[in-house]
């Protein structure tokens, strides 16, 4: 049997009510929300009862999503499923790092709260938009981006899907070029140009935050968005560079597969990462864990019940 990777959901996967079922069925998951509520009162209420509008604000999205991501992984571990590797998409990388013990429980949540605030400030100071480009080779998308001063490739999701970020007016003109080249583009409902130079200010803030935290070596390999390779002793620089640099997700999935992973468990809301895995690694087994029902289905399929 091959190895298991826990992959943690990123921003955009949030929805009202997320995490409530996990907290109800798993003491380990519930403990994640209890810690969050001690450090940031009202976090679990935002997850369980907050509106879509409330959850769409980056300062709320990231702490809430982090909790659900981590709660799903803790529930799996509590029931005997052991991860051999971990990786997270964008915000999900912070949950992966916390799961692997790079952060203490308190520092992991504190980092995510400060990350969310810093990224929201950067997005307000440098307004940006994002769009997924489909049906064009990455090289063609990169070539089109190069024709604009403030449009960049930012999320290398899977074969045939590359997300770009940029200044809103330039991005509109860019999307016309995509159509002319025979591609298709879908604007994303996000509040900023994430993983682009627009996040330079946020990266600077996080450098100061991480300098005050004690980080530990991971207890299992964690693959970084910035390098698509496992963390070494460079956790601080990886977490800082991650917010202003492209997410190399397709390459990460390919590297995990080369390391022997044949089973991916998406921990957290939605099933976006399941779709990206299926498009990148055709032979992989893929499971999604976001509530009691999906937790039990994954456990049964893995023979862990």
Q: Is 90 a catalytic residue?
A: yes
Domain boundaries, the chain: 3-124+196-302, 129-187
pLDDT tens, 125-153?
999 999 999 999 999 999 999 999 999 99
- What would the pLDDT profile of 179-233 be if each residue is shown by its tens digit? 999 999 988 878 889 999 999 999 999 999 999 999 999 999 999 999 999 999 8
* pTM for the predicted model, two decimal places: 0.94
Catalytic residue among 21, 26, 129, 195: 195
CATH assignment of 3-124+196-302, among 3.40.109.10, 3.40.50.300, 3.40.190.290, 3.40.366.10: 3.40.366.10
Q: Is 195 a catalytic residue?
A: yes
Phi, psi of 42 (to 5 degrees): 95, 0
CATH of region 129-187, choose from 2.60.120.10, 3.40.190.10, 3.30.70.250, 2.60.120.1270: 3.30.70.250
DSSP for 109-172, please give it.
HHHHHHHHHHHHHHHHHS--EEEEEESS-HHHHHHHHTTSTTEEEEEEEETTEEEEEE-HHHHH
Check pLDDT > 80 for residue 305.
no
Mean pLDDT of the chain: 95
Res 303: pLDDT: 86
The DSSP 8-state label assigned to residue 201 in this structure reads H
pLDDT at position 90 is 95
Catalytic residue among 9, 90, 129, 191: 90
The answer on pLDDT for 24 being more than 80 is yes
């Amino acid at each position: 049997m091959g190895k298991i990777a826990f992959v943690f959901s990123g921003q955009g996967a949030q929805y009202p009510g997320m995490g409530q079922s996990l907290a109800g069925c798993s003491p380990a998951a519930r403990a994640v929300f209890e810690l969050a509520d001690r450090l940031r009162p009202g976090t679990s209420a935002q997850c369980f009862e907050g509106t879509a509008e409330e959850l769409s604000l980056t300062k709320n999205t990231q702490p809430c999503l982090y909790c659900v991501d981590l709660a799903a992984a803790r529930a799996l571990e509590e029931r005997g499923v052991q991860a051999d590797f971990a990786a997270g998409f964008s915000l999900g990388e912070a949950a992966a790092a916390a799961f692997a013990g790079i952060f203490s429980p308190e520092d992991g949540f504190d980092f995510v709260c400060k990350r969310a605030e810093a990224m929201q400030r950067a997005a307000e100071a440098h307004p940006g938009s994002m769009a997924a480009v489909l049906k064009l080779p990455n090289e063609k998308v990169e070539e089109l981006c190069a024709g604009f001063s403030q449009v960049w490739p930012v999320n290398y999701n899977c074969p045939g899907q590359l997300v770009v970020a940029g200044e809103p007016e330039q991005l509109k003109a860019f999307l016309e070029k995509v159509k002319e080249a025979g591609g298709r583009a879908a604007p994303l409902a996000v509040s900023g140009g994430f993983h682009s130079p627009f996040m330079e200010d946020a990266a600077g803030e996080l450098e100061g935050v991480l300098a005050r935290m004690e980080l530990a070596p991971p207890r299992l390999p964690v693959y970084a968005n910035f390098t698509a390779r496992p963390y070494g002793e460079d956790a601080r620089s990886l977490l800082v560079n991650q917010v202003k640099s492209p997410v190399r997700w397709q390459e990460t999935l390919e590297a995990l597969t080369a390391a022997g992973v044949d089973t991916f468990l998406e921990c957290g809301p939605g099933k976006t990462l399941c779709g990206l895995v299926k498009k990148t690694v055709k032979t992989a087994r893929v499971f999604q864990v976001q509530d009691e029902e999906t937790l039990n289905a994954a456990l049964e399929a893995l023979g862990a019940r």
